C-alpha cells in the first residue's frame, strides 16, 4: 500500500509518497516538488487565472507521474495558497473541473496543529514551541506537557514578504529593514507564549534550507538538525552582507530559494528572537506528515 499526499502551498507544490508501516508508522518513498510561486499570482487578494492554471498543470503532472507507479489516488490539501484568497471557491471549482481532484483547504489553526503532529514523528516536543514558515503564512504552536495550548496562523511568509518588499532578487538594506519591521509588527499582534522556550522546533522548506546553509557555514555534517539562537543571528548577519561568499553559500545550498531565503531567514530570526531561549531543532517532517497521520492513517494522534 502506498499513499500520495500533495501539499498545494503558496511557494511550492510538493508530492510525497509514503509506505504505511505497522503501529501507525510510515516511510517516505519519494518526494517531488515544483516551485510554483502562487503567491506571486495573487492580485488584490484574488488568485489569477494564470495561477489557477499553473496549479492545475502541476497536479496533472503529479497524477501522470503516479500513474507510472500504478497509483491512482492522490490526496491534495491546500494551505494559505487557497485559504487566504477571495476566490477560493472559484479556484476549487476550476481545479476540480480540470483535474478531477478534490482539494482539502486546511484552516490556519489546523495547519499549525498538523505541523506539530509532523514534528512528533521525529522528535518529542513535550514543552516548547513550534513554527512553520511557508510561502504565504507562518504557523506557531505552543506546547505544554504534550498538549497544544495555542495554535495560530499569521498571514506572512517568505514569498509574500519577497513580493511585497523586494524590488530585485536580493533585498537592499532599506528593504531588509522594511521586512524586519513588518515581521516585528506581525509578532506584536500575535498571541505568543509568555516565556521563551528552551527548545523550539522549526518546520518547513525555509527552516530546512536555513539549516542546510548553517551546516555548511559552521562545518557540520548534513544530518545535524540543531542550531543555537546565537548561531542563527550570526548566520543572518553574514548572509545579509550579500557578498560573494554569501551568494556562493546560498547558491550551493538552496538555489531554488535564492529569492525567498533572505526574507525567510529574517522572518525566522524574528520568530526565534521571540520564541527561542536557547536551542532550535529543525524537523525533517511537518504538515504533510501531520496530514498523513491525522487524516489518513490511524495513528492515535
E strand intervals along the chain: 3-8, 13-20, 26-34, 42-43, 46-47, 75-78, 103-105, 128-133, 138-144, 147-154, 197-203, 226-228, 276-282
Q: Which pLDDT score is estimated for 194? A: 87
For residues 171 and 205, what is the distance between their CA atoms, to the nearest angstrom?
20
Q: 254-283, pLDDT tens digit by residue? A: 999 999 999 999 999 999 999 998 899 999
Q: 217-229, pLDDT tens digit by residue? A: 999 999 999 999 9
Beta-carbon-side half-sphere exposure of residue 94 (alpha carbons within 13 Å): 16
For residues 52 and 288, what is the distance between their CA atoms, to the nearest angstrom?
21
All residue ranges of the chain with pLDDT < 70 are 298-301
For the chain, which residues make up each domain, given as ranges?
3-105, 108-282
Q: Which pLDDT score is estimated for 299? A: 60
Eight-class DSSP state of 153? E
Global pTM value: 0.94
In sign, the C-alpha dihedral spanning 45, 92, 67, 204 is positive
Q: Tell me whether the CATH fold assigned to 3-105 matches the one assigned to 108-282.
A: yes
Q: What share of the chain is helix, strand, coil (3-state, %, to 5)?
A: 45, 25, 30
Q: Which pLDDT score is estimated for 212? A: 98
In sign, the C-alpha dihedral spanning 96, 294, 117, 62 is negative
For residues 132 and 202, what is the distance between their CA atoms, to the nearest angstrom?
6
Phi, psi of 161 (to 5 degrees): -65, -45
Q: Which CATH superfamily is domain 3-105 in?
A: ATPase, nucleotide binding domain (3.30.420.40)
CA-closest candidate to residue 225, choices 207, 239, 238: 207
Q: Which pLDDT score is estimated for 122? A: 87
Fold of 108-282: Nucleotidyltransferase; domain 5 (3.30.420)
CA-closest candidate to residue 299, choices 5, 255, 38, 290: 290
Amino acid at each position: 500500500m502506498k499513499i500520495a499526499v500533495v501539499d498545494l502551498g503558496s511557494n511550492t507544490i510538493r508530492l510525497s509518497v509514503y509506505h504505511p508501516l505497522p503501529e501507525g508508522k510510515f516511510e517516505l518513498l519519494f518526494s517531488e516538488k515544483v516551485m510554483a510561486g502562487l503567491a506571486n499570482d495573487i492580485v488584490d487578494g484574488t488568485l489569477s487565472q494564470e495561477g489557477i492554471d499553473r496549479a492545475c498543470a502541476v497536479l496533472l503532472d503529479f497524477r501522470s507521474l503516479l500513474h507510472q507507479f500504478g497509483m491512482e489516488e492522490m490526496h491534495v490539501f491546500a494551505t494559505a495558497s487557497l485559504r487566504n484568497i477571495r476566490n477560493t471557491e472559484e479556484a476549487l471549482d476550476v481545479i476540480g473541473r480540470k483535474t478531477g481532484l478534490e482539494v482539502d483547504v486546511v484552516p490556519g489553526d489546523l495547519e499549525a496543529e498538523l505541523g506539530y503532529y509532523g514534528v512528533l514523528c521525529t522528535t518529542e516536543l513535550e514543552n516548547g514551541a513550534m513554527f512553520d514558515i511557508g510561502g504565504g503564512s507562518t504557523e506557531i504552536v505552543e506546547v505544554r506537557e504534550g498538549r497544544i495550548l495555542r495554535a495560530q496562523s499569521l498571514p506572512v511568509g517568505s514569498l509574500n514578504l519577497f513580493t511585497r518588499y523586494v524590488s530585485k532578487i536580493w533585498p537592499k538594506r532599506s528593504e531588509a529593514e522594511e521586512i524586519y519591521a513588518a515581521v516585528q509588527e506581525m509578532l506584536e499582534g500575535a498571541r505568543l507564549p509568555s516565556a521563551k522556550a528552551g527548545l523550539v522546533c522549526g518546520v518547513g522548506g525555509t527552516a530546512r534550507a536555513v539549516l542546510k546553509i548553517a551546516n555548511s557555514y559552521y562545518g557540520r555534517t548534513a544530518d545535524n538538525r540543531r542550531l543555537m539562537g546565537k548561531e542563527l543571528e550570526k548566520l543572518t548577519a553574514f548572509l545579509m552582507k550579500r557578498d560573494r561568499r554569501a551568494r556562493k553559500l546560498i547558491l550551493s545550498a538552496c538555489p531554488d530559494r535564492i529569492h525567498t531565503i533572505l526574507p525567510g531567514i529574517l522572518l525566522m530570526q524574528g520568530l526565534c528572537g521571540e520564541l527561542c531561549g536557547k536551542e532550535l531543532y529543525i524537523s525533517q517532517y511537518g504538515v504533510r506528515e501531520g496530514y498523513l497521520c491525522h487524516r489518513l492513517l490511524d495513528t492515535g494522534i
